[in-house]
Structure 1
Amino acid sequence: MPIGPTQVALGALVLVAIGFTWRYGGRDRWRALVADRFVYGVPWGTLLTVGIVVAFYLFAQGGLRHWSEPLTYPFITWSYLYPLGWLTAGIAHGSPEHLVANMTGTLAFAPIAEYAWGHDPTRRTATDANGDDTGLLGRPWFRAVVAFPAALLAAAYLTAFFSLGPGLGFSGAVFAIAGFALVTYPLATIVAVLASSGLQLLYDALTQPVVREAVERGPPAPPEWAGIGFQAHLLGFLVGVLLGIALLRRRSRRPTPARLVLATALFGLVQSLWLLVLPAAEDVFTLYRGAGVVLVFSLAIGTTVAVTGSDRPLPRVVPIERATRRRLAGAWLAVLVLAVLVGTVGLLVGDQPVLFGLGVVLLVATLLALPALPSVVPDRMLSSPLSRRQTAIACLGVLTLLVAVPSIPFGLTVVDDAVPGTGEVEVEGYAVTYEQNVTVGQDSVVDVDTNESETRRDGVVLVNADREISTVSVRSDLLEYAGEGSVDVGGFGWRETVDVERTGWEVVGNETAYAVDLEIDDETTRSFASDPVRAHATVDEQTFHVVPDEETFLLRVTEDGADVGETAIPSANETATVGDLQVSTEELDGVERVVVETDETEVQIATQERYAAETAAEELDEIEEP
């Protein structure tokens, strides 16, 4: 990336702003504050974690040589039967923007979480000095460079393991860090939200100080929010909140309720914790925005009660005797058991995925049964009645299970060795081919309808049975838009790129006849050729078909259903003959067109396929010309 005067000026001003803040912002007070919690006042765990994730992107994913096109397929959570995927998915990223967004979030939130935990447990204040750690966890350097990074990476592995389908990225861990920071230091976390946005903007300004784009529809793609791993975000947030509650209880400290409920609500709204998305049909997604906002405010209230709520027992709705309460609680539990049985029968009768549906039913029933448990559990099993705060914590725990457990069947998937279609290119266990209306996806080893095994797609299909990969790498509509694409395959220490190119002719009065070629190591394989397409034009009762061949395109001439002859479509400004017809390819304004001529007639048969991406690039070039 060339460095221009804008980047130099921006960098200088940022350094001046940092120096000004350090000089006039009470540096001695801040130095004393961080030195009390960090070794030499530096959040080593945060920096080391960011370094590990960035290093993985640069070296394992090849970002050092291919910054904008990292290797991703071997590092995605395709299946539990492919351990490398879920072990690396939490720290791998799909693009520089993806990496920078997660790292700016980590740099904003993780120092707060690291500060809350602290490097040296012997230097805590008197209000939170209870339960000092001993052994290795009592050593500041071990806490800074081993324990804290290990906790962050464990959060990444956890959210990757319980990913609802193939996942990639550190964002689940970022939300876990944010949840932990939020319950320990609410206001500082809200400030960190602003800092994260500022860091992201600063990176964009440094890397792209000037952006110029033409007005265009852009390539076909699902809504931006449909590709966000909302389930991993919510799971990470809940895990972080529960860990933060455990730390606060150990330290005997509670934040102000008003600050916590407001900060949690603001965080959830700004950071899109309300994002609830489900696929409705093929290429159709449903965003439950209203329900998501309700969830955010419910989380804010529930989290606040779980952190700062009273330890008094739950209030009685009606002042009744314990024996009566026990009977009512037993009746309520009996109703729940009956509901579970009815739900199970409904799953069996309706030919629904039993294991998946039964898991959801049991978890919901457990959540509804919590208020009745204190009345039916013997007194000797409870040291004290269930308090308001304990109830809220139990609800958060059950909600965490509700978010995590349904993802398990999506990880218990396999693929077979069969490669759909023909014309594939094989690279070290990977098979790449182009097909239309082909079944892709994994088959679940349990009775759960993941909608993957019956999904039929068009496009470049990537299959690797050893890695449990079966997916559409380049969609057909995207290839039709751009005319080309690429598939990067590989593993640790190696990488190969399969280039994909679509060529075609738009036949007059009909569809496009096209072919898709795959190229690797200067060897080209024609992976797909469409059916012949007939032109509506005729000459002397002769009809014409554009036919994609194994290597080129043919023009076939027929009369009364019988073949007259065929020839390869000539190159630009060249001619060929079929019977008494002359076939030529003319170029006009950069577009080639196939023309059939006789002594008296000239008819256009087809024009070279033009791609919207090329047109948009040409328009942008014209705008940039002085």
Structure 2
Amino acid sequence: MVPTLETLPVQQAAVVVALALSAGVVWWLDRPTGRWGRQLRSRFVAGVPWGTVVSSGLVLAVYLFVQGGLDHWYAPTVIPFTAWSYTYLLGMVTAPFSHSGPGHLVGNLVGTLTFAPLVEYAWGHFPRERGESSFSSWRTNPYVRAFVLFPVAVVLVGLATSFFGLGPVVGFSGVVFAFAGFALVYYPLGTVLALVAGEVLRLTYGAFLRPVSRVSSQEVFSTPWFADIALQGHALGFLLGVVVALWLSERRRDDHPSALRLWTGVLLFSVSQSLWAVYWFRGNGEFVLYRAGGLALVVLLATLVTLAVRADDGPFARWDAAGVGRATSLRGSFSRLSRRQVTFVALILVTASLAGPGAGVNLLTVADDDLSEQRVTVRDYDVTYAENVQNRMVAVADVEAFGETTTVNTSGVIVRSADRDIWITAVPKSRLAFDGTVPVRVGGLGWRETVVATREGWEVVGNGSVYRVSLGVDGEQTPVFASESRRAEPMLAGRNVSLAADDDGYTLLVESANETARGRLPATNESVTLANVEFTNEGGKVMARTETGTTVRVATKETYN
């Protein structure tokens, strides 16, 4: 094979040279003479944010060794490591550190590497309380703070986003948003800058992974971009980060940025990270996005955070003209609270209101349902295919509000485990119809199994499709679903032609006023005659010919991407 510009590492080398040259130019112009290093070493052990490094390593280790990403980088096991219910502790504990694929993982690692160092810098490996020395106790030991306390705090925040997250969640993004919420309290515009730096990291990673991409137009299966956002988990993590930062800053009496910087930073971050994307799932692939209401919410969020950080210690009952407004005297202990305390309590209440629904849902277990007897069983997992059945993942709690309800239907490949309280539409009907074959990975600690869902069918002229779904495990295929019959639009000499599916294949039906003739769909390049109509399978096209010589197409083999 002759080397080309695309196969040689010339472009990766060009990136390295460009970055090194740029860094050298900046160094030469600033001439820091060790100033940068001294600044970092004033907060970090050896100038390195070790807590960020350890936390990122933990997330990567879960992907590689728990989810099987070391052997299956592009196909990790996800279902058993998702947060489903308090009764399934394995999922609750592993979910905040697990990911659905390499793109999901890299995105959250980039977020960690951009936001977490700001958090660690604000906190510091060296105590700043007056009179404390670095090695006076284990709490002030810089190595304990860097390698133990910071990672432990990260794990605790991750568990909080899992245990109080709404619905089945997976991923480190809740913690990433907590990093961002914390950093915004200390460095609002620096956090926005870090957000842009994250895009540079993503581009650099992509440039090394795929320096050249050849792209052509093609059909793809997609869901709405906002449908994969765990909005409640992101917002919960963000508010947890803000609350922790406020607690720390008040305990240490740290300085706060201006109100304008705070409000601007929180609003820019919230909008750019789609915290405004409030949506509802109506079942069977239908979603509703509340764009205007979401924008109003993030504006109010920016206002609340700004108030919580910048409000002074004056009495809330006599809010002066420089504040939000003037309040009349309040009775009881509430009137003796300071403005800072009131806004902090309001922030806690908003956080609790987000966490409450998640805790309520996670307390429930998946109710028993009547899954089809046509299924495959892999240890404690049942896998089948069904259409227009009640979505047990959403409807564990029957709630109706603003014309929407959690009682919705779903269609597709369903995975259930009574032992793990798992119920999920692992492959939607529309995706299977697009791809034709989709793998479903189930498993647990130390094991995994792949169930391959396959759809094959025929498009009946003028009336949709007739199809069959089978599930394969270890090469053994099990039919689990056959769609209803469809009548072709053309009539042949006063006769209707229909196509029906069953576990064994397809049946042609020719119906007249007095009788119905049935016969199996012929194989490729073969024919069958029913009620004086000859049907021929011409390489995936079923052609019908009457005794008068009239020939029409009645069905075409489905094709997939």
With normalisation by structure 2, the TM-score equals 0.88
CA distance in 2, matches of 1:34, 1:552: 69
Q: Which runs of 5+ in 2 are unaligned?
A: 1-5, 321-326
Aligned pairs for 1:121-270 (under 5 A) are 121=127, 124=128, 129=130, 135-215=137-217, 218-221=220-223, 223-257=224-258, 258-270=260-272
Deviations 1:360-402 (A, max 9, x none): xxxxxxxxxxx89963139xxx9xx322212211111111111
In the TM superposition, residue 274 of structure 1 has moved relative to its aligned partner by 2.7
Equivalent pair of 1:532/1:548 in contact (CA under 8 Å): yes
Q: Structure 1 residues 182 and 129 mapped into 2: Cα distance closer, same or farther (>3 Å)?
A: farther
Q: 1:421 aligns with which of 349, 372, 384?
A: 372
Q: 1:464 aligns with which of 395, 408, 417?
A: 417
Instruction: Identify the residue that residue 333 of structure 1 maps to in structure 2.
Output: none
Confirm whether residue 401 of structure 1 aligns to residue 352 of structure 2. Answer: yes
AA paired with 2:256?
Answer: P
CA distance in 1, matches of 2:307, 2:510: 79
Confirm whether residue 435 of structure 1 aligns to residue 386 of structure 2. Answer: yes
CA distance in 1, matches of 2:427, 2:460: 25
AA paired with 1:586?
Answer: E
CA distance in 2, matches of 1:561, 1:396: 75
AA paired with 2:183?
Answer: A
SS of residue in 1 equivalent to 2:468: strand
AA paired with 1:231?
Answer: Q
Instruction: Identify the residue that residue 323 of structure 2 maps to in structure 1.
Output: none
Equivalent pair of 1:130/1:250 in contact (CA under 8 Å): no
Instruction: Identify the residue that residue 575 of structure 1 maps to in structure 2.
Output: 527
Instruction: Identify the residue that residue 411 of structure 1 maps to in structure 2.
Output: 362
CA distance in 1, matches of 2:377, 2:222: 28
Q: Structure 1 residues 181 and 129 mapped into 2: Cα distance closer, same or farther (>3 Å)?
A: farther
Instruction: Identify the residue that residue 66 of structure 2 maps to in structure 1.
Output: 60
CA distance in 1, matches of 2:342, 2:167: 31
Instruction: Identify the residue that residue 542 of structure 2 maps to in structure 1.
Output: 594
Confirm whether residue 519 of structure 1 aligns to residue 472 of structure 2. Answer: yes
Equivalent pair of 2:394/2:408 in contact (CA under 8 Å): no
Equivalent pair of 2:284/2:410 in contact (CA under 8 Å): no
In the TM superposition, residue 426 of structure 1 has moved relative to its aligned partner by 0.9
Instruction: Identify the residue that residue 332 of structure 2 maps to in structure 1.
Output: 376
Q: Which runs of 5+ in 1 are unaligned?
A: 319-370, 615-626
Instruction: Identify the residue that residue 555 of structure 2 maps to in structure 1.
Output: 607
Deviations 1:422-442 (A, max 9, x none): 321111111111112112314
Instruction: Identify the residue that residue 298 of structure 1 maps to in structure 2.
Output: 300
Instruction: Identify the residue that residue 545 of structure 1 maps to in structure 2.
Output: 498
Q: 1:36 aligns with which of 30, 34, 42?
A: 42
CA distance in 2, matches of 1:250, 1:508: 73
AA paired with 1:60?
Answer: V
Confirm whether residue 13 of structure 1 aligns to residue 15 of structure 2. Answer: no
With normalisation by structure 1, the TM-score equals 0.80
Q: Structure 1 residues 566 and 118 mapped into 2: Cα distance closer, same or farther (>3 Å)?
A: same
What is the count of residue pairs matched by the alignment?
546
Point out the structure with the larger helix share: 1
Confirm whether residue 492 of structure 1 aligns to residue 467 of structure 2. Answer: no
- Of 201-210 and 39-48, more deviation after overlay is shown by 201-210
Deviations 1:561-586 (A, max 9, x none): 42434134222x23344465543211
SS of residue in 1 equivalent to 2:169: coil
Q: CA RMSD in A?
A: 3.0
In the TM superposition, residue 87 of structure 1 has moved relative to its aligned partner by 0.9
SS of residue in 2 equivalent to 1:604: strand
AA paired with 2:438?
Answer: G
Equivalent pair of 2:169/2:230 in contact (CA under 8 Å): yes
In the TM superposition, residue 2 of structure 1 has moved relative to its aligned partner by 7.4
CA distance in 2, matches of 1:135, 1:187: 35
- Of 258-267 and 459-468, more deviation after overlay is shown by 258-267
CA distance in 2, matches of 1:20, 1:40: 25
In the TM superposition, residue 598 of structure 1 has moved relative to its aligned partner by 5.2
Q: Structure 1 residues 483 and 70 mapped into 2: Cα distance closer, same or farther (>3 Å)?
A: same
Q: Structure 1 residues 374 and 580 mapped into 2: Cα distance closer, same or farther (>3 Å)?
A: closer
